[in-house]
């Protein structure tokens, strides 16, 4: 309880000004915090989106590079298959054919070697300078694959270590059929893993960023920045294969790598021609740290603005507390002056600013008009008028200009050429009222619309009005009653006209509306 009292005293909550300023300062602080968070969130989202686009572009470009690499190997193999004599592999002249294979291999820098195997897996010809000691390769995966699959398409196998040189290579092979369509042998071209290692090394990536070439069954062919220990690892349990590739051939996503448990922002692309996938991933934590360093000036600036707002609020509340204390000391004198001023206002029948009838005269005239209506059973109409966006006018042009605007509108209303028994009054503030005895709703609406038109036609400048004319306009609400001595007709008439005025404002201002008892 004591804490609440201290807070109320510090914020001057016992005064309307203190409560208003407290509400305003709280809203200002909240808006500042929300704006800061929203701005930083949008900045981080844009950073992530840029990383996603970069990852997709990198994976797509490298997918096409991989396609080109293996396409060249395929073209070499298909050329070799076309140049095998019609009599079959047995008719190959080995030394010249070895030279032929070596020439083809030298044309394509990514190739490690080109070889020909018969149906038993015996190496018949090779582009290598020296024939390996072991010449039977029937145990190799690619040989077994072609022996059991009777089609002529290219097969890309998992990475193997060359028995000829010890290098890590990717086997690319084609089946050779005899004249009867039976299995006659295998053509093999090996692509150097070192070729991809060297090529991927050109890209400027962070230490934990990743660029990987994989087969569609989830087997790694090469992963930068890792060495040979990651080759042939199966990543089929990765979200890349369990979720992303099942829905689309290219895209982006964020997940924790099953290779090293690092969360990255990935882009991926599946090759259209071969069973290959390229994935590029940016370390999310490194990206966050980089973004945080770049956003630090904005964060500091926002924090300083919030601190400045708090300091400004403290100064304002101190001044409010002083004002409240001074007002308390002068309360008696203020009440006396207010009472005297109120008495003088009630005694006066004319509004000192506009020269129109004031509120007291309005009330007296309305009461008499309703009494007459109760006797004659003729309607009394009331038009309530409000200057549109007058607070904006005052705030922008100043109170002196605002008073002058009220006088101008009052002068315009006096030119309506009403009956001599009608009354135009300043109801209060920027509100005016017109009492029309012996006048029905249609005639009252006509007068109200004419007043709206005349004020608009006066073209009093109002750049803050927000409308298309940028001039002072009014809204008017009309209501008519036939007085009933058993009912409070004045309240009913005022409420009806005020309701119509409110409806005119809702409809867009600068117009007159009328309501009825229905």
Q: Mean pLDDT by 10-residue block, N- to C-terminus, for the chain (518 residues)? A: 60 65 77 86 92 93 92 92 84 85 89 91 85 75 90 89 88 90 91 91 89 93 90 92 91 91 93 93 92 85 81 76 72 70 63 89 91 91 94 92 93 90 92 94 93 93 81 94 81 92 92 79
Name the residue with tokens 């009292």.
5
14 and 89 part of one domain: yes
- Is 332 inside a domain boundary? no
- Is 229 inside a domain boundary? yes
- Is 126 inside a domain boundary? yes
Give the Å distances, CA to CA, from 442 to 367, 402, 418, 436. Answer: 22, 32, 15, 12
257 and 296 part of one domain: yes
Please say which residue of 278, 302, 327 terminates a domain. 327
11 and 159 part of one domain: yes
Residue 87 is among the residues annotated as catalytic for this protein: no
Sign of the torsion formed by the C-alpha atoms of 120, 121, 126 and 128: negative
Name the residue with tokens 């990852």.
55
Residue of 194, 430, 431, 495 marked catalytic: 430
Asked whether 355 and 410 are in contact (CB, 8 A), the reply is yes
384 and 425 part of one domain: yes
The CA distance from 47 to 261, in Å, is 22
Range of the domain at 438: 340-514
Please say which residue of 327, 361, 389 terminates a domain. 327
- Is 157 inside a domain boundary? yes
427 and 284 part of one domain: no
Instruction: Report the DSSP beta bridge partners of residue 282.
Output: 265
13: which 2 tokens? Answer: 């909550």
441 and 487 part of one domain: yes
The CA distance from 34 to 40, in Å, is 10
Asked whether 441 and 463 are in contact (CB, 8 A), the reply is no
162: which 2 tokens? Answer: 């060359």
271 and 353 part of one domain: no
- Is 334 inside a domain boundary? no
- Is 221 inside a domain boundary? yes
240 and 377 part of one domain: no
- Is 440 inside a domain boundary? yes
Exposure string for 179-213, b = 16+ CB within 10 A, e = fewer: eeeebbbbbbbbbbbebbbebbeeeebeebbbbbb
Please say which residue of 327, 353, 375 terminates a domain. 327
Task: CATH number of the domain at 284, please.
Answer: 3.30.450.20
Our count of domains for the chain comes to 2
250 and 182 part of one domain: yes
204 and 115 part of one domain: yes
381 and 487 part of one domain: yes
Give the Å distances, CA to CA, from 437 to 124, 374, 432, 441. Answer: 120, 12, 17, 11
20 and 64 part of one domain: yes
Task: CATH number of the domain at 412, please.
Answer: 3.30.70.270
């Amino acid at each position: 309880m004591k804490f609440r009292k201290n807070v109320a005293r510090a914020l001057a909550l016992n005064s309307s000004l203190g409560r208003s300023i407290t509400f305003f300062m709280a809203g200002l602080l909240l808006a500042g915090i929300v704006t800061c968070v929203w701005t930083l969130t949008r900045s981080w989202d844009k950073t992530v989106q840029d990383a996603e686009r970069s990852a997709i572009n990198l994976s797509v470009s490298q997918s096409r590079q991989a396609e080109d690499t293996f396409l060249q190997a395929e073209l070499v193999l298909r050329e070799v298959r076309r140049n095998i004599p019609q009599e079959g592999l047995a008719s190959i002249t080995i030394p010249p054919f070895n030279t032929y294979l070596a020439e083809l291999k030298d044309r394509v820098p990514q190739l490690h070697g080109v070889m020909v195997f018969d149906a038993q897996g015996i190496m018949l010809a090779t582009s290598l300078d020296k024939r390996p000691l072991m010449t039977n390769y029937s145990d190799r995966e690619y040989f077994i694959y072609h022996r059991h699959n009777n089609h002529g398409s290219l097969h890309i196998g998992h990475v193997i270590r060359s028995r000829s040189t010890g290098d890590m290579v990717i086997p690319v092979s084609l089946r050779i059929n005899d004249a009867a369509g039976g299995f006659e042998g295998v053509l093999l071209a090996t692509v150097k893993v070192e070729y991809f290692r060297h090529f991927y090394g050109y890209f400027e990536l962070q230490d934990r960023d990743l660029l990987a070439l994989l087969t569609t069954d989830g087997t790694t062919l090469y992963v930068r920045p890792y060495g040979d220990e990651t080759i042939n690892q199966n990543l089929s349990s990765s979200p890349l294969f369990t979720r992303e590739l099942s829905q689309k051939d290219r895209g982006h996503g964020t997940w924790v790598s099953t290779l090293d448990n690092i969360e990255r922002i990935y882009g991926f692309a599946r090759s259209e021609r071969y069973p290959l996938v390229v994935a590029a991933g940016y370390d999310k934590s490194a990206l966050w740290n980089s973004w945080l360093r770049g956003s630090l000036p904005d964060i500091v600036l926002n924090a300083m603005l919030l601190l400045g707002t708090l300091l400004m609020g403290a100064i304002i509340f101190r001044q409010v507390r002083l004002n409240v204390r001074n007002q308390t000391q002068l309360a008696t004198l203020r009440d006396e002056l207010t009472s005297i001023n109120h008495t003088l206002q009630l005694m006066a029948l004319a509004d000192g600013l506009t020269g129109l009838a004031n509120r007291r005269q309005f009330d007296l005239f309305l009461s008499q008009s309703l009494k007459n209506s109760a006797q004659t059973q003729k309607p009394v109409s009331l038009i309530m008028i409000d200057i549109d966006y007058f607070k904006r006018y005052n705030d922008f042009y100043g109170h002196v200009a605002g008073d002058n605007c009220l006088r101008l509108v009052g002068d315009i209303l006096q030119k309506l050429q009403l009956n001599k028994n009608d009354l135009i009054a300043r109801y209060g503030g920027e509100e005016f009222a017109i009492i029309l005895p012996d006048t029905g709703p249609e005639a009252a609406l006509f007068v109200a619309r004419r007043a709206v038109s005349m004020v608009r036609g006066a073209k009093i400048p109002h750049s803050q009005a927000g409308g298309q004319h940028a001039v002072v306009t009014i809204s008017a609400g009309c209501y008519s009653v036939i007085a009933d001595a058993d009912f409070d007709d004045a309240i009913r008439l005022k409420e009806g006209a005020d309701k119509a005025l409110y409806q005119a404002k809702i409809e867009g201002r600068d117009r007159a509306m009328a309501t009825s008892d229905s």
